[in-house]
Amino acid sequence: MADVVDLSIDGMTCAACVTRVERVLTRVPGVASAEVNLATNRARVRGAGALDPGALEAAVAKAGYSAHPVTETRTEAASFPARLIVAVMLTAPMLATMPFGHAAMLPGWLQLLLALPVQTWVAWPFYRASWLGLRGFYGGMDLLVVLGTSAAFLLSCYNLALHGVHAALYFESGATVITLVLFGRYLEARARQSAASAIAALAALRPTTAIVLRAGVEAEIPIAALAIDDIAVIPPGARIRADGVIIAGAGGVDESLLTGEALPVAKQPGARAIGGAINGEAQLQMRLTAVGRETTLARMVRLVEDAQLNKPDIQRLADRVSAVFVPVVVVIALLTATAWAIAGAPIDTAIINAVAVLVIACPCAMGLATPTAIMVSTGIAARAGILVKDAGALERAQAATIIAFDKTGTLTEGFPKLAAIEPVADTSREEILRLAAAVQAGSEHPLARAVLRETKDFPRAINHRASPGRGISADLEGRTVSLGSRRMMEELGIDLAPLTNAEARHAADGQTISWLVADGRLLGLLAFADALKPSAAAAVARLQALGLGVVLLSGDNQAAAGRVGAALGIGDVRAGLLPEDKLAAIRSMRDDGAVIAMVGDGVNDAAALAAADVGFAMGGGTDVAMAAAGITLMRGDPMLVADGIVLSARTWRTMRRGLFWAFAYNVIGIPLAAVGLLDPMIAGGAMALSSVSVVLNALALRIGQLRPRAD
């Protein structure tokens, strides 16, 4: 019994399914609200008091679906490949003979044997969804598929029994419709399955065991057994198990996955540490202050879950129109048969004309319009370095009015570079670089790697002595050389006055400072910064030229974020944001009527990426960010954001145009079939022609380019 219950729902195929499941759940006594997400096949039920999960599962089952506790993702998508393979294998022989005329077609009995499994077992999901839709007074594309293909199949069986080898048969038409529409559904099911991977990627950051001190002895226990006030031991390089306060040890901690900060954060006794961060070079002991569902990482998991659950489902244009189109077609078919019968025509003629209406209305082109456009556009995108995980993202991106960028790893490189060297009067820049490299040789610290990238020419130092969280010292050329933070210099009693103005200038730009001394004498300072990506300025300028607003959302300090915003021409800069602050900013802008595209690369961006209308993840970022976003930029190039939006606009226009032509054939063909000017064979040909038109329309996406040519 609980006041919030999460369920995994099997059997949903469309937005109407979501509505029905929400309706039956809200009718269960004690339920205050129910939110169902088609993308993740999840339902979250909230109660005014305690809820009975068994009653919720029973209500869902009564509606024709199945519900399970959220322990594993269970969907019907796995059955689609087998059905699709069988459909292709059985339909292909019938289609292969069509170009050679009626005389070359397979014998009628063989066509029946090939089409029967397609019309029954392969098409079973459509029949099931149609029945559920009719129970809920809803008709969609599933019902169109069932009506059209069943009519073609039954008419073919009737003609085969009546006329034998000379019969007009439509087995291949029905089988082809089922195969093509099923292929489109398979693509959608794949996208829905991948949407749930964001939660799994976040969960992967949580280790399964932890080392704690019990009675002064280290013991490894399951992570679930941790309790508040436990003393956890974090070895160098290990992931911190839960939130807490450092009580012993000092060193740098990489919190970039959670906060977006590019540089390791120095931790001393008394400092807070976040579960999920990675310890640096020193062993730490920490007293736990939050465990289980109350840790920062666990809260981030819930943020992503909630953002995905609350994101509105895409209502495809074809489904909206077919909700009205289906009952109209059925009524027209019945009226056609009735009118011909009243006019004195033979009953066979009345039935054939009514079937012709159903055949011409069968949504082959409707089923092709969206999947073919998406297939072509995703192929174009892949060649450009844009990986589209969620086909719906291609529809949403073109409507974006504001692009919200994370800073670190998105517009910047995501790792520190040596930005400046400030020597005292009698020391050269080359000497400072040479000594700093010698002291840090062999270190894996990000600042050390930044120095070592700048030079390979330095002497060999000995007796390296690390001061965790402060700096490092070594002996070389008869001197003791130290490189470290201001705190280390103060502890050594070094006078930093000669370079305090330079320090203030670099600190104002958000840069990190290291001081270099030899035998107690100040030699200079080194400033480190997270450099802008080469294409960042051009990317922002291009987005603004497209008429889009650009916002910077950063977990970094105001000075660092402001410097990046000024360099790129971004006027709206919001700094010092925690993951929940970024999520709140996205929701606030959406509440003001903006359509938001979020661009990020870290775990701290995952909730915002999921909450935005469309998320762009940098390919060099975390698995969590890529799982939460609908589009991944494989090269991590911000210029690809504009490419994705341009492609989205072209794809959206292509899909609308394809759907227009698909419905145009129906609008023109249905009256002709109703008055007897189209027999089912010609209707089937017109249906095939509409499909060819839709495919050619989608292939037109390959004409043109995503990016303007350079002058």
Q: Of the ranges 47-51, 72-76, 342-346, 382-386, which one carries the lowest mean pLDDT score?
A: 72-76
211 sits in which H/E element: strand 209-214
What pLDDT score was predicted for residue 386?
81
Report pLDDT digits (tens) over 265-283. 778 888 888 888 888 778 8
All domains of the chain in start order, with CATH: 2-69 (3.30.70.100), 227-290 (2.70.150.10), 388-412+533-648 (3.40.50.1000), 415-531 (3.40.1110.10)
568 and 540 in contact (C-beta within 8 Å)? yes
Long-range contacts of 246-250 (CB under 8 A, 24+ apart): 246/270, 246/271, 246/272, 246/273, 246/284, 246/285, 246/286, 247/285, 247/286, 247/287, 248/284, 248/285, 249/282, 249/283, 249/284, 249/285, 249/468, 250/282, 250/284, 250/468, 250/469, 250/470
- Cα 219 from chain centroid? 39
Amino acid at 50: A
Residue reference for tokens 């244009």: 317
Residue 691's pLDDT band, with cuts at 50, 70 and 90, is low
CA torsion sign for 181, 183, 185, 191 is negative
Separation between Cα atoms, residue 453 and residue 437, nearest integer Å: 9
450 and 464 in contact (C-beta within 8 Å)? no
What pLDDT score was predicted for residue 143?
76
Separation between Cα atoms, residue 90 and residue 100, nearest integer Å: 19
What pLDDT score was predicted for residue 312?
34
Residue 76's pLDDT band, with cuts at 50, 70 and 90, is very low
165: exposed, middle or buried (C-beta count within 10 Å: 0-12, 13-18, 19+)?
exposed
Q: Of the ranges 158-172, 362-376, 519-533, 610-624, which one carries the lowest mean pLDDT score?
A: 362-376
Separation between Cα atoms, residue 441 and residue 402, nearest integer Å: 45
β-strands 412-423, 521-532 pairing: antiparallel
Contacts of 438 (CB under 8 A, 6+ apart): 458, 459, 460, 461, 474, 476, 481
What is the mean predicted confidence (pLDDT) over 409-433? 88
Catalytic residue, candidates 243, 319, 406, 613: 406
**Using N-to-C axis directions, what is the helix angle for 364-384 and 680-699, rounded to 10°?**
20
Separation between Cα atoms, residue 171 and residue 91, nearest integer Å: 9
What pLDDT score was predicted for residue 169?
80
What pLDDT score was predicted for residue 228?
92
β-strands 243-248, 284-290 pairing: antiparallel
Task: Please choose, from the candidates 85, 90, 162, the residue with its C-alpha nearest in 3D space to the C-alpha of residue 119.
Answer: 90
Three-class secondary structure assignment of 604-669 = HHHHHHHHCCEEEEECCCCHHHHHHCCEEECCCCCHHHHHHHHHHHHHHHHHHHHHHHHHHHHHHH
Residue 313 predicted with pLDDT over 60:
no
Separation between Cα atoms, residue 329 and residue 145, nearest integer Å: 12
What is the number of other CB atoms lying within 10 angstroms of the CB of residue 579?
A: 23
Strand order in the sheet with 402-405: 386-388, 631-633, 614-618, 596-600, 402-405, 549-553, 572-574
What pLDDT score was predicted for residue 78?
47
What pLDDT score was predicted for residue 483?
93
Long-range contacts of 101-107 (CB under 8 A, 24+ apart): 105/169, 107/165
β-strands 42-51, 2-10 pairing: antiparallel
What pLDDT score was predicted for residue 436?
94
**Distances 304 to 178, 261, 667, 709 between C-alpha atoms, Å:** 36, 20, 44, 39
Separation between Cα atoms, residue 52 and residue 304, nearest integer Å: 25
pLDDT, the chain, mean: 81
Report pLDDT digits (tens) over 567-587. 999 999 998 888 888 999 999
Residue reference for tokens 């977990």: 555
Helices (H), 343-390: 347-361, 364-384
Active site residue 406: yes
Q: Which pTM was predicted?
A: 0.62
What is the number of other CB atoms lying within 10 angstroms of the CB of residue 321?
A: 16
347 and 339 in contact (C-beta within 8 Å)? no
What is the number of other CB atoms lying within 10 angstroms of the CB of residue 507?
A: 16
Residue reference for tokens 């390296």: 464
What pLDDT score was predicted for residue 489?
92
What is the mean predicted confidence (pLDDT) over 514-530? 91
Separation between Cα atoms, residue 391 and residue 205, nearest integer Å: 27
What pLDDT score was predicted for residue 645?
93
Contacts of 229 (CB under 8 A, 6+ apart): 287, 288
